[in-house]
Amino acid sequence: MTIISVLYMKSSPHVAVVGATGAVGIEMIKTLEKRNFPVGKLTLLASARSVGKKLTFRGQEITVQELTKTSFAGIDIALFSAGGSISREFAPAAVQAGCVVVDNSSAFRMDDQVPLVVPEINAADCRNHKGIIANPNCTTAITLMALYPLHQAFGCKRIFASSYQAVSGTGAKAIAELERQVDQIVTGKPVTREVYPHQIAFNVLPQVDSFLSDGYTKEEMKMQNEGRKIMHHPGFRASVTCVRVPVYRAHSIAISAEFEKPVTVETARAVLSKAPGLQVVDNPAKSEYPLPLYMTEQYDCAVGRLRLDCALDNGLCFWVSGDQLLKGAALNAVQIAEELLKF
């Protein structure tokens, strides 16, 4: 019997959160509690500068410990959200210790040996793990919550999309930067910046992640590359422009999708209304459509602005919003952990 098989028999696994003091790490802890995940013991791990901080879980204070390669003895599931370099350094040590890693970074997403999972889409891929399961990019996950049901029904050939990404996608320092800049502008003080190359308050930045030689950014190509893997759709094509906007939480994406089969607004709405984890908010006459303001701290994503695309054959336009820290990160990771306990 393998170590992994023993894990799946445990009803109350020992769980670790790596990067526990970061924006996503904090949401992971909250999500474990809110979803009543059967945590037998919770260990919080972070860098040396966070050691000694206390975070609350189920009414109890837990002290943050320093992340080392020996931190994973006795731990069954580790939720990683500390960046790609940390994942590459410490995830193999966790696996070696018999732990299953759910990794929120980009480190292993395109590794052929690592499942890339959105549970509403490809939960069964979790069964093929070899110790690591990857969380997708936040914008990709939120987009696919609406796109995949439509792909199942009509066969998606390609999409053209623009994202409207909240600063939470960059982390806690970016949230603080937006707050600081808004205050500086309102009070007439000079605007300072540390995280972004330009002022983000009252501005939009058509750059998320670094640029590639073809002019796209790494973030923009994740939609195509990760989308192909998650949907098991190697022919999927996506041309995307990712934009950072002065919103604290929740990403939004405007999508024009072209399908193999004819699609109508009515048939698309019927498909989307049955999709798990997705709300249809689509009443233009009353100005009702998904808003990041209202999707903040919501587990579901929302889709609206459904209309036939006037420039594509068998095309449909729609707008999706979802909480980047939840479905785009922490919630998806906890849902993957929940899938592990089903085996």
Active site (catalytic) residues: 138, 251
Task: Write out the two tokens for 138.
Answer: 């936040």
Q: How far apart are CA 73 and CA 238, in angstroms?
A: 42
For the chain, the residue count is: 343
Q: How would you classify the pairing of strands 132-134 and 156-165?
A: unpaired
Tell me how far the alpha carbon of residue 272 is from its chain's centroid.
20
Longest Cα–Cα distance in the chain:
66
Residue 254, helix vs strand vs coil: strand
Q: How many CA atoms lie within 13 A of 31 on its CB side?
A: 28
| Cβ count near 198 (within 10 Å) | 11
Q: How many CA atoms lie within 13 A of 64 on its CB side?
A: 23
E strands in 75-205:
77-80, 100-103, 132-134, 156-165
Task: Write out the two tokens for 103.
Answer: 């990794």
115 residue type, one letter = P
Q: How far apart are CA 152 and CA 142, in angstroms?
A: 16
